Structure 1
Amino acid sequence: MTSLADTAPSSANSAGTRLATRLAFFVAGFVMACWAPLVPFAKSNIGADEGQLGLLLLCLGLGSIIAMPLTGWISAQVGSKPMILTGGLGLVLVLPLLPVIDTPLLLGAALLLFGASLGTIDVAMNVHAVEVEKAATTPLMSGFHAMFSVGGFAGAGGITFLLSQGASPLASALCGSALALGAILLAWPRLLKVQGGEPPAFVAPRGIVLLLAALAGLTFLVEGAILDWSALLLLGRNLVDPAQGGLGYMLFSIAMTVGRLTGDRVVSALGDRRVLVWSGVLTVAGFVLLLSVDWTAGALLGFVLIGLGASNIVPVLFSRAGRQTVMPAGLAVAAVTTTGYAGILAGPAAMGFVSHVTSLTWAFWMLAALMLLVPVFARSATRG
């Protein structure tokens, strides 16, 4: 089967196609972040404790993990455009249900669909971005992923603002869905229609790729934990009012965006190994500040440090995966991607179980300990 870049290079390299790709990334980050300030309301509606909520969040991760390989296979047959639209419209439809469902079974089913929609658009937009970047013959991927972070800031910030102004959780979610729908409709005619190639067979990561995938999974786990649990952490420590629960994730997203937009220059100046070391140290320092102080400004500054520290870890890991020689570069990057998204979507469910056994604060200390592995293994990850 002919590759996309070969069949329609002018279309793939157009400004409209780049805009559509950026909008797809924005929608994924935006709707995902809209969920963060709504978690306490969903938890309250069904009367769940941390352990029960963790089990329900597992449905979100399960839905995504089921959808990801299916999306990759289908995208290879019909192109990524239908899957981007399917995932995006699924997010638009399911988001308003999450803050109003009042039974655990229905919430679990909704989160399963929400996770499947996230997994679908995540894989499809990256397939689309690879083809657009290939046709452009110039690096574009960092800018596309920065739009995911911009969406995260806009989603968490927008929903937090609406809630703080007295809007109901349902009205806030409906506003988020309306904006996401507008972005999808704008992207729709500009997305590429041509099919990709045959899907590669699954290959388990091995050697250096296994280490890169593990570190990516840990880093994405931090992002997923902050998405799902930051509001509850701030509320549980009486640092913010319920309507301001999304402030932590919003600041994290801003810092992540700034870090990604400046990351290429940082890596050029310091090199991969130093970036991993200092990024890991900065992330851990952010957790220590967040969990050690009892004043709101200090705790929120901790989220900023975590976002800045984590922002450049994954890009370096992807870069190293593309340059290693243990496995074909494409399969290595796919392995790191799959493991990373498994961390961000499935991993936070473990936070609920740890919180149930100990406390949410101790669960966040566990994240800090795991992130110490990044600087510890920086030399091994960048060897060669």
Structure 2
Amino acid sequence: MTLLQKRRIALGSLFFIAGLCFASWASRIPDIQVKFNLSEAQLGTLLLGLPIGSLVALPLAGWAVHRFGSRKVILASAAGYMTFLPLIGFSDSIFMLIPVIVIFGMIGNMMNISLNTQALALEDSYGRSILASFHGLWSLAGFTGAGIGAGMIYFNILPRIHYLFIAFIVASTILSAKSFLINESKAGGGGGLVLRKPDDLLLRIGLIAFLGMLAEGCMFDWSGVFFKKVVEIEPGLVALGYVSFMGAMASGRFLTDRIINKIGRIKMLQFSGALIFVGLLLSVLLPLPVTATIGFLMVGFGVAAIIPIAYSTAGRSKLYSPGVALAMVSTISFFGFLLGPPLIGYIAELFELKVSFTLVAITGLGIAILSSVRLEVFK
């Protein structure tokens, strides 16, 4: 096994534990709600701590990666995950839990930016696209974390013990992987806190990522509702839409690199946007179990490539260092992930859910258009 292959496996394992930590926390949210006797509204308020922490970390992450290098930030944030995940389980009051969750959200985004910066450095060494496969491992970890969580719940194991078990996996992975991480040289371009206007490239790719994340966030939160209320599928199959979308997105990320290396990033973005647009229109116009499932599979494959391509393109900015460029694009796209799900609800309240999903379909058309006009921006 070559050194490059060892580096890729090591970095992939760190992407996996990042997804595992997040999924492990999410799998026990119902237990957290019961433990603190929270209403749905109170739980929703508590869950805001995660995106708030993520948002706070975005400008800091680019600066930290530029200042200290992605390797140090990866190891520090992984150690933070190892520490703060169990602290969620050991929190005995809501006043302790809230800051822990905010910091947990900050750690997640610090790790996100630093892992992707490291992946870009490794991608340069390979000389071909490999970033999407790392995102595929993050998605795969989501399924694994949910499965472990379901097992822990089945055997009545407390969240704190569950989280300590995950922390042990994180610690073991850090020790195995740290010697293979790249000590990348400080990149050219601007560093500093990400509180400035992006250039044309970052603005364009940020808007594409915004639309992709808006569609992704809507599919995460509303797939089950769509299948229940629009497709009117039998109760036992309500989760089919979500599983179809998630499965296609996860598997699509393992195929994306191979396709990109054959047809290029721009054509892949155009194809992805078309898949999102056609898949959602098919589901809206023919809301039958078979056609809606096919449509959601198309959307999952379409969404799979958007963020890996956006990050890979942003990391090659000539004006900013990779960490800062990634943080800028993440900041823009993050608002899509936050705004999308509530927007669906508001539009559905005024009209109906079919109208909401039709508007989400237009995001795919927007991605295709933005990746087809003024292509000189991407050069």
What band does the TM-score fall into relative to the shorter chain? 0.7 to 0.9
Residue 135 of structure 2 is matched in structure 1 by: 145
Q: How far is the alpha carbon of 1:158 from its aligned partner?
A: 2.6
Partner of 1:215: 208
Match of 1:307 among 300, 303, 328: 300
Other-structure match for 2:109: 119
**Would the aligned equivalents of 1:76 and 1:195 in 2 still touch at CA under 8 Å?**
no
Partner residue in 2 for 1:200:
190
| Residues in 1 aligned to 2:282 and 2:178: alpha-carbon distance in whole angstroms | 39
After superposition, residues 359-374 of structure 1 pair within 5 angstroms as 366=356, 369-374=359-364
The 5 A counterparts of 1:14-163 are 14-98=4-88, 101=91, 103-163=93-153
Rounded to whole Å, the distance in 1 between the matches of 2:206 and 2:307 is: 10
**In structure 1, what residue type is equivalent to 2:50?**
L
- Provide the rounded CA distance (Å) in 2 between the counterparts of 1:28 and 1:353: 28
Note if contact 2:269-2:305 (Cα within 8 Å) is conserved in structure 1: no
* CA distance in structure 1 between the aligned counterparts of 2:23 and 2:214, rounded to whole angstroms: 15
Contact persistence 2:273–2:366 (CA under 8 A)? yes
The reply to whether residue 276 of structure 1 matches residue 272 of structure 2 is: yes
Deviation at 1:248, TM superposition (A): 7.6
Distance 1:107 1:100, change over 3 A: same
Q: Report sequence identity in percent.
A: 24
Matches of 1:332 and 1:283, distance apart in 2 = 33
Mapped contact 1:76–1:199 kept (Cα < 8 A): no
Does the C-alpha gap of structure 1 residues 311 and 179 become closer, same or farther in structure 2, counting only changes over 3 Å?
same
Given that 1:213 and 1:336 are in contact with CA atoms closer than 8 Å, whether structure 2 keeps it comes out as no
How many residues are paired up?
A: 362
Contact 1:50 1:356 survives alignment (8 Å)? no
* SS in structure 2 of the partner of residue 67 of structure 1: helix
8 A Cα contact 2:19 2:141, kept in partner: yes
**What residue number does 2:175 align with?**
185
CA contact (8 A) 1:57 1:348 kept: no
Structure 1 residue 329: deviation in Å?
7.0
Name the SS for the 2:28 alignment partner.
Answer: helix
Change in CA separation of 1:381 and 1:197 when aligned onto 2, cut-off 3 Å = closer
| Cα-Cα RMSD | 4.5
Partner letter of residue 116 of structure 2?
Answer: N
Deviation by residue 1:183-212 (Cα, 9 ceiling, x = unmatched): 222112322345524662444235564343
Judge conservation of contact 1:42–1:101 (CA < 8 Å) in 2: no
1:251-270 mapped onto 2 (5 Å cutoff): 252-266=245-259, 268=262
Gaps of 5+ in 1: 1-10
Task: Rate the CA distance shift 1:285–1:61 in 2: closer, same or farther, 3 A.
Answer: same
> 2:138 & 2:88 partners in 1: Cα distance?
21
Cα 1:332/1:373, change in 2 over 3 Å: farther
Structure 1 residues 273 and 255: CA distance shift in structure 2, 3 A: closer
Contact 1:66 1:116 in 2 (8 A): yes
Conservation of the 8 A alpha-carbon contact between 1:72 and 1:199: no
Deviation at 1:84, TM superposition (A): 0.8
Deviations 1:234-279 (A, max 9, x none): 9x999579xx99x986664432221112224555469346413332
Report the Cα distance in structure 1 between the residues aligned to 2:342 and 2:278, rounded to whole angstroms: 25
Q: Is the 8 A contact 1:27 1:184 kept in 2?
A: no
Secondary structure, in 3 states, of the residue corresponding to 1:196?
Answer: coil
Structure 2: distance between partners of 1:250 and 1:99: 28
Q: TM-score, normalised by structure 1?
A: 0.73
1:233 deviates by 6.1
TM normalised by structure 2 equals: 0.74
Indicate how the Cα distance of structure 1 residues 76 and 269 shifts in structure 2: closer, same or farther if over 3 A, else same: closer
Aligned equivalents of 2:341 and 2:175: distance in 1? 36
Deviations 1:98-134 (A, max 9, x none): 4664654333212111111111111111222222222
Of residues 337-346 and 72-81 in structure 1, the stretch that sits farther from structure 2 once superposed is 337-346
Gaps of 5+ in 2: none
Question: Cα 1:278–1:367, aligned 2, differ >3 Å: closer, same or farther?
Answer: same
Distance in 2 separating the partners of 1:280 and 1:333: 29
- Residue type at the aligned position of 2:120: V
Counterpart mapping for 1:302-381 below 5 A? 304-318=297-311, 328=318, 335=325, 338-340=328-330, 343-344=333-334, 347-348=337-338, 351=341, 366=356, 369-381=359-371
Alpha carbons 1:287, 1:368 under 8 Å: kept: no
Q: CA 1:353–1:304 in structure 2 vs 1: closer, same or farther (change >3 Å)?
A: closer
Structure 1 distance, partners of 2:246, 2:218, is 13
